[in-house]
Structure 1
Amino acid sequence: MQHAPLWLLPALLGSLALAPLAQAATPLTLEQRMAALEARAAAAESRAAAAEQQARQTAAELARLKRSDPAIQASGPQPEASAPVLAARLADVEARQAALEKLGRSETKNPSKLTNGFSFNGYARSGLLIDDSLGGGRGGPYVTPAGSVGGAVGRLGNEDDTYMRIDLSKELHAENGTRSKFTVSIADGVETSNDWTAEESTLNVRQAYAALDHIAAFKGNPVLENATLWAGKRYDRDTFDIHWLDSDVVYLAGTGGGVYDLQFGEGWRSNFSLMGRDYGDFSAQGGNADVESYILTSNQFFDDGRWQWMFNAIGSNQNDTRRNAAGLTPADSGVHSMVAHHQKGFFGREGFFKTALLYGQGLGAEVKNLGSDGELLDDAQALRLALYGQTPLARGWRIAPSLLAEQSQDRYVGGDDYRWLTLNLRLAKEITSNFEMVYEMSWQTMDLDPMGYQQRNAVDGDFWKLTVAPTFKPDMGGFFTRPELRVFASLMDWSKELDDYSGSDAFGQDGFGAGGVWQFGVQMETWF
């Protein structure tokens, strides 16, 4: 029986221990490094076990030879002297293994070196709109006179802009389990079709905030342990919209801070925040200063989020030092409330349906974009109703109906009155696994009496739109599968009286008057 010389074992063990370290010079991801670390640890344990087994076998063989060969007995204890050397080599392997484990732990604590925890999300649309005389098309979801007070109409085949928003986030995990996240959102929107749009660009940072969740100090507290703390510039996490109209149901945004997901009872969670906004400038000693407004928000969710009650108190103590466009003193405070029901399913069918009733007074009478309108009077009041949802209709068909209606009065001039209602219906028919026909029908009726505010005239009439849009997409997963590549044709018409609402809006301009307007185009829309 032949055995490897005992003095070769330390060299062999050393070379095996150094090999993984040489391979580690190539940059790897955290997952690859941790996998390699586990493999090295397992290999080191295996080598140590094998070395111990070999040492035992060698010692046993030497003992046997000593007993049978007097010459070996006379040679003294030199062979056994290699055992301490072997032990030293094994200790070196263990030290190297510990160093690798320490490296892995340090990288987990400092993930700024890593790509994990980074997310990239966004939304974008870009399209070309052409009228029936090969001129530039006109439109937009707020093209009608009612759009001046939030009356949106269907957006499909009615957009001629390029808009994009990019959300970049980075998560970090503390050793105690607390997770932090920083998010920045950059947005831009232009209507020009040119490739270089620096002069028209409205590039803007929409969000820049940080948040903490899984907070170690809150563990074990049933109210706080699921809470998220945040501060910075952002739009509210629980904002929701009617996509078909490009209209938020409610939109809360600004700079401030708050807490999400306090758990006060089973199926009941609460959000609270304080956000600030600016209304412009007012004269003050030493020059001009910003007119600040503040929105204190309570957002309550019951029955695991099916019911929502939102309340907002708005204050701007210096707003009454200004004059609105009608020369009147605007409000310095207001209240706003919303009750919403988020139905899981579409009346017993697959899909969803949402209902929201909103009311506002004073600065809260802008019931959608909370706290954004500093022109409103103390007596301003608004009531808005939103209904929308989507469901499969029949084999290969989907339907998404929506209704948005509002009545408001005493907004900017005492006695003014704005009433409008929009009905919208989007249909989709799947043709192949990547192609569908999409149809959208919109009707809006309005009765507006602005009492001369911004040289606007009283009008009463209707608007309607029909769009057909052959659409390509990666899969037939539903209305919200993106990206979509569309070509479209839209026919719009409205009551002639609406052309007289304002000299500064699109209606009544050359080539864009009542009697029927055809528009054509191509558009991309995506989100991820």
Structure 2
Amino acid sequence: MQKASRWLLAGVLSSSAATSQAATLEERMAAFEARASAAEKRAAAAEQQTQALARELQQIKLATSALQPAASTASQATNPVVDTRLAKLEARQESMEKQASTSNLTDGFSFNGYARSGLLIDEGLGGGRGGPYTTPAGSVGGAVGRLGNEDDTYMRIDLSKEIYAQNGTRSKFTVSIADGVESSNDWTADESKLNVRQVFTTLDHIAAFKGNPVFENATLWAGKRFDRDNFDIHWMDSDVVYLAGTGGGIYDVQMNKDWRSNYSLIGRSYGDFSQGGLNADVASYILTSNQFFEEGQWQWMFNGIGAKKNDFGTRTNKAGLTPADSGLHSMLANHQKNFFGREGFFKTALLYGQGLGAEVKNVGSDGELIDEARALRLALYGETPIAPDWRIGPSLLAEQSKDRYVKGDDYRWLTLNMRLANTINSNFEMAYELSWQTMDLDPKGYLQRNAVDGNFWKFTVAPTFKLDVGDLLTRPEMRVFASYMNWSSDLDKYSTSDSFGKTDFNAGGVWQYGIQMETWF
């Protein structure tokens, strides 16, 4: 059709009547090309269509230019074939301009998020107490199962915008906003902890790196963010490793076909402290090397941490001792894409830290640790079907740390957790969770805490409606639940400020009930 149209147009223009129209045609095409140029600037998505139109118009322009010397300005006769052709092209351009004006803001835009919200009610119809870190071991990261054990409303939204350059390079800007409250009211401004968790930009598909096998697939980033390759045990709301702060780095440097690397420098702050008349903003810096082997199956992470002003000349920790001004942290992890040969997945991680690195989960976040601090943590978890319509998510999290805040302190804890789901139909399942934690904690009086030794256990039943079944991690979910918790009476004396230290929340067995939604996308 296009060839026939061009042939027809060339034939028409070769006549004397058509040549008299050349000047007017040139003016209309010039105006059209100006509009096309403006449309290209407004909408990158329309670029290919605009180029196609420009090529087509250029052919018309060349044909007209060849005949223009013979054009007669005396005759202004119009040709219906040419007018119809131009009218169609102009209509297409107007459509493109309208599309650009309405879609350029949404092109490359994405909206992701996570949220949970619900009621937790105790057996006396009072407000329930809970959370994955409700036990004494929770003060040093010892999480327990979260199902039927949350009394907060938390949300995070991630807004991103992608922009492509003509050379193919992509930029992506992301901002994350989060809030968490424990109030059940509809207006919670006074209790709000609204926070901007991330503000960062990435560059990938970088044109300057094309053809370089080491950097061709690399991503540059800078700003405030949490690391792309953090991972967690969802059943316990506990990150296995969590690296976050403000800085920059590079992902996916391809050392060879089975080895890729990430590197970053991130800053954090331990806040403003006053000691001996000095005021200082104690900053810490985390230099990270993250190595992945065999298509990401094996991961070795190493962090060096420095905070030179975190010393006795600036401040002491809450125990009155000199805090550490440096630390080391390392993690070896294995990411299996199946569950020991079965459908599902399984992950294992061994983490070690010393000095400021002895907070092995939230890397570099604890400025209270002393030089002698040492910590070793093991994490195991996964998911797999165990029978028709049944899935299981087992997990283990354990840690031993000593000399954390006071020389001679000792924290030992272990959590076993099991999430089960039984599919009833395409939108309904019965969820169950059994969680047990044992602990032996000796804080040596840090924060007026006392040595305790005991166990905690929880069992939850949760009828659950969801968008689709077949995976423990499919969301959204809406659930009602009943949870029974009990613990050793010795744990009640750990601290007067934690949940177990309250006079109305003691060992002997506690029933709690609730309703909750959870979603991510």
* TM-superposition CA deviations, 1:409-464 (whole Å, max 9, x none): 00000000000000000000000110000000000000000011111110000000
In 2, Cα distance between equivalents of 1:99 and 1:525: 46
* TM-superposition CA deviations, 1:29-66 (whole Å, max 9, x none): 96996798699789989999xx99xxxxxxxxxxxxxx
Structure 2 counterpart of 1:382, from 375, 381, 393: 375
* TM-superposition CA deviations, 1:98-156 (whole Å, max 9, x none): 9949x88x96xx99934110000000000100000000000100000000000000000
In the TM superposition, what are the counterparts of 1:42-57 in structure 2 within 5 Å? none
- Equivalent residue letter for 1:148: S
Q: CA deviation at 1:234?
A: 0.3
Structure 2 counterpart of 1:494, from 487, 493, 497: 487
Residues 43 and 305 (structure 1), Cα distance of their counterparts in 2 relative to 1, 3 Å cut: same
Instruction: Name the counterpart of 1:345.
Output: 338
Instruction: Name the counterpart of 1:447.
Output: 440
Residues 330 and 383 (structure 1), Cα distance of their counterparts in 2 relative to 1, 3 Å cut: same
Across the aligned residues of Structure 1 and Structure 2, the Cα RMSD in angstroms comes to 3.9
* TM-superposition CA deviations, 1:358-385 (whole Å, max 9, x none): 0000000000000000000100000000
Instruction: Name the counterpart of 1:135.
Output: 126
Instruction: Name the counterpart of 2:307.
Output: 316
Instruction: Name the counterpart of 1:281.
Output: 272
> Is the counterpart of residue 228 in structure 1 residue 219 in structure 2?
yes
Instruction: Name the counterpart of 1:173.
Output: 164
- Equivalent residue letter for 2:290: N
Instruction: Name the counterpart of 1:68.
Output: none
SS for the counterpart of 2:491 is: helix
Instruction: Name the counterpart of 2:415.
Output: 422
SS for the counterpart of 1:346 is: coil
- Equivalent residue letter for 2:518: E
TM-score (norm 2): 0.85
Q: Does structure 2 conserve the Cα–Cα contact (< 8 Å) formed by 1:210 and 1:231? A: yes
Residues 428 and 270 (structure 1), Cα distance of their counterparts in 2 relative to 1, 3 Å cut: same
- Equivalent residue letter for 1:265: N
- Equivalent residue letter for 1:460: D
SS for the counterpart of 2:208 is: helix
In the TM superposition, what are the counterparts of 1:114-263 in structure 2 within 5 Å? 114-263=105-254
Give the number of the structure whose alpha-carbon radius of gyration is greater. 1
In 2, Cα distance between equivalents of 1:470 and 1:437: 5
Instruction: Name the counterpart of 2:259.
Output: 268
In 2, Cα distance between equivalents of 1:388 and 1:236: 21
SS for the counterpart of 1:507 is: helix
Q: Does structure 1 conserve the Cα–Cα contact (< 8 Å) formed by 2:171 and 2:203? A: yes
The runs of 5 or more residues in structure 1 that have no matched partner are: 53-77
TM-score (norm 1): 0.84
In 2, Cα distance between equivalents of 1:518 and 1:159: 13
SS for the counterpart of 1:431 is: strand
Q: CA deviation at 1:94?
A: 11
Equivalent pairs, count:
487
**More moved, 472-481 vs 418-427:** 472-481
- Equivalent residue letter for 2:215: L
In the TM superposition, what are the counterparts of 1:489-528 in structure 2 within 5 Å? 489-528=482-521
Q: CA deviation at 1:331?
A: 0.4
- Equivalent residue letter for 1:143: T
Q: Does structure 1 conserve the Cα–Cα contact (< 8 Å) formed by 2:18 and 2:78? A: no
- Equivalent residue letter for 1:271: N
Structure 2 counterpart of 1:405, from 398, 408, 411: 398
Q: CA deviation at 1:266?
A: 1.1
Instruction: Name the counterpart of 2:68.
Output: none
- Equivalent residue letter for 1:504: S
SS for the counterpart of 1:361 is: strand
In 2, Cα distance between equivalents of 1:148 and 1:431: 38
Q: CA deviation at 1:344?
A: 1.1
Q: Does structure 2 conserve the Cα–Cα contact (< 8 Å) formed by 1:391 and 1:399? A: yes
> Is the counterpart of residue 365 in structure 1 residue 368 in structure 2?
no
Percent identity over paired residues: 70
Q: Does structure 1 conserve the Cα–Cα contact (< 8 Å) formed by 2:458 and 2:486? A: yes
* TM-superposition CA deviations, 1:376-398 (whole Å, max 9, x none): 01000000000000011111000
Q: Does structure 2 conserve the Cα–Cα contact (< 8 Å) formed by 1:9 and 1:86? A: no
In 2, Cα distance between equivalents of 1:176 and 1:47: 29
In 1, Cα distance between equivalents of 2:78 and 2:483: 87
- Equivalent residue letter for 2:341: G
Residues 34 and 335 (structure 1), Cα distance of their counterparts in 2 relative to 1, 3 Å cut: closer
* TM-superposition CA deviations, 1:295-323 (whole Å, max 9, x none): 00000000010000000000000101311
Instruction: Name the counterpart of 2:4.
Output: none
Q: CA deviation at 1:474?
A: 1.1
Instruction: Name the counterpart of 1:325.
Output: 318
Residues 501 and 265 (structure 1), Cα distance of their counterparts in 2 relative to 1, 3 Å cut: same
